[in-house]
Amino acid sequence: MPDWLSPAEWDALRLSLRVAFWATLVSLPPALLVAHALARWRFPGHGLLNGLVHLPLVLPPVVTGYVLLLTLGRRGFVGQYLDQWFGIVFAFRWTGAVVAAAVMAFPLMVRAIRLSVEAVDPKLEQAAGSLGASRPWVWATVTLPLILPGVIAGAILAFAKAMGEFGATITFVSNIPGETQTLPSAIYSFLQVPGGEGAAARLALVSVAVAMTALVASEFLARRAARRVHGR
């Protein structure tokens, strides 16, 4: 392991990548579903769902973290049963950090996917149906390929947001080195102790590098997918 980062700093980077990866992965399927629901379906509670999804975007992150603590904490009204029945505990675990990051990143992902779903011409799906494709097949062979650029952009945006999530994470799962201390929490901690400025600066640079890489990668992938969709 190169020694330009201390073991504690490496831990924070690795944990952040892991948390962001899982947060992106677990929010992808529900984000696809919600994006389709919001873009295509008309149902009672449409506006409510829309508001609920976007709430973490406008609430102070501390409030989101507090709500997570109330619901999914060890004595939370959902969390206590998860613990009793399945032995699943989120509080003060890295999995809790995944939940916090996923909730915070969810609206960004839904927005990106929703826009691309709205751009798909339903007439193409109708044409696919007329050629014998059932609804699931139409989705897999026509809808998904056409929304792929939006899905990729949304996923990478969510990944970057999850990497940087601080307020909800620290409120929900605290700041335990090696377990829940992600990059932003580590930077915050280093800034609290005398002589920690160097470590904080190094981690800040790492954050910038990761974010830049994510943005470049998303741009590249989305462009490639768009070329495929709109013809060479």
Q: Which is nearer to other proteins, 67 or 146 (CB)?
A: 146
Q: Which is nearer to other proteins, 38 or 138 (CB)?
A: 138
Of the candidates 68, 76, 78, the one whose C-alpha atom is nearest the C-alpha of residue 104 is 68
- Rounded to the nearest whole angstrom, what is the least distance from the CB of residue 111 to other proteins in the complex? 23
Quick one: 82 or 133, whose CB is closer to other proteins?
Answer: 133
Q: What's the CA dihedral at 167, 169, 172, 176 to 10 degrees? A: -120
**Count H helices, E strands: the chain?**
11, 0
Encode 23-48: b = buried (16+ Cβ within 10 Å), e = exposed: bbebbbeebbebbbbbbeeeeeeeee
Report, in Å, the least distance between residue 122 CB and other proteins: 11
Q: In the bound complex, what is the minimum distance in angstroms from residue 101's beta carbon to other proteins?
A: 32
Residues 130/134/138/139 CA torsion (nearest 10 deg): 150
Residue 126 CB, shortest distance to other proteins, in Å, is 7
Find out whether 142 and 84 touch, Cβ atoms under 8 Å: no
CB 202 within 8 A of CB 194: no
Residue type, 215: L
Give the shortest CB-148-to-other proteins separation in angstroms: 8
Which of residues 74 and 227 has its CB atom nearest to other proteins in the complex?
227
d(CA 165, CA 197): 21
Q: How far is the CB of 141 from other proteins (least distance, A)?
A: 8
**Which positions lie near other proteins, rule CB under 8 A?**
121, 123-124, 126-135, 137-138, 141-142, 145-146, 228-232
Q: Which is nearer to other proteins, 133 or 204 (CB)?
A: 133
